Chains A and B, each alone.
Chain A
Amino acid sequence: MKGVRIFCLSFLLLCLVLSLSMRSPALSPDYVVAVAENTPVSGSFYPKNRPITIAIVPKSLDNPVFVDSMETSMQTAKELGVNLEWVGPFKVDPDLQVKIIEGLIWRKVDGIAISTSDPEKIRKVIDKAVAAGIKVATIDADCPGSKRLFYCGTDNYKAGWACGEAMVKIVTERGLAHKRLRTAILTGGIEAHNLNERIRGFQEAVAGKLDLEYVALLACDDDTTTGAKMVEAYIKEHPETDLFFFAGGWAFFGPTESMPLYQEWCNNGGIAVSMDTFYSVLQAAKKGFAQALVGQDFRKMGVLTVKYLVDAIQGKPVPMEYIDTGLELADESNFDQLLSEKKPWEMK
């Protein structure tokens, strides 16, 4: 009996010891991460003694209207011994444009020229860049109310006015001035200041002379293909439209074969006036897609923008805040002559 008792006791002890030993590795402290000292990400890309760097930010890269400007600006930069960067969103994207400009500010470029896609959004970043000591200009599309140094480009109001005058002339010639005419407008972006100026110029030029009913405002986001498609679609729906004002030549940058309905509309007496006098636009106009064209001088824009921006960076005064690069008028009388002077883009 005694043996049994001893056995019992030792058995219980064994159990106790086992249970305790199983419990012991508990009680862990909370998870702790040692925090390292703050090592800031290095900021600048360029050494201090780098050449002057200016950047031109178009509304988008895929818009061929800027090709001439890019070409001349690069040539001018090369002549002046400065670095020129051509940066922008591939397609029109105001937000990305803002981001790109911010990147430029962060990179501390010396000067920036912007083709403003949305003045409301760009204005702040222009002011930020100016505050950072960067010389900022606008090119092609202005950003009114911002602290930009100057604007270099077409006087869009004047260009619109010219388009209006051309329209009045054609309509009057066709004896339709007394008639109320349904008018559609194609623009690039509803917020684009330069385009809106053109539309305003156009409307104010025809006011009192023609009785126009504005039936549609189409926006193609500066896209060539989209522009053509929108026009074609609109004409399909509304063949009764009388007039078409193109605030930019996007619809005619591509092959005209994609617009058979529009072509038919033109043949049936539709009247169209368009901005831009690029090679392809001239070709289209010659085919009857537009009766009058008003062109801008993008080559001059590139040259002047770089020149004055470098001046400003080097501390030289800029002659005026508004640098008008002039207009080019075209109608049936000089289509062939202009076509012979210009060369196609040949980008695709």
Chain B
Amino acid sequence: MFGLLLVEDEEAIRKKLMNNVAWADYGFEPVLGAANGLEALALIEKYPVKIMVTDVQMPKMNGIELIKEIKRRGYQMKIIVISGFAEFEYAQESIKLNVSDYLLKPFASKRLLEVALRFKEELEKEEAERSEMNDLRDQLKKTKPL
């Protein structure tokens, strides 16, 4: 289970993000699409989202607000911001909010795939390390009485 949430207000672009990559083939499951931040939050609650791709400019709740809310709620996930803006503030904001990566529109779908895959790998590696550590800790715990 590796959840991917795509937040984009423009329908055509959201469709592009969702459909132009065979996410399932790369182990992304489920692939969710949201038109704005509120929809995104609702989905995050329901599904285990590991990676979120979000546009900045959106109606109702924009990308920055969404990220802030996610942080506040303490969800752990990789966040990739996609934006037409290359402005410095956004970049800064993104870094401050511990945004994982930043993609400037327009981009080819495979670029997003690369980034997503990279993060997936990272996450899976972390997971593996964490399991190893847990095993070690468990072993340690077991050995401690010794």
A and B touch in their complex, CB below 8 angstroms: no
User: Which residues of A are interface residues toward B (Cβ below 8 A)?
Assistant: none
User: Which residues of B are interface residues toward A (Cβ below 8 A)?
Assistant: none
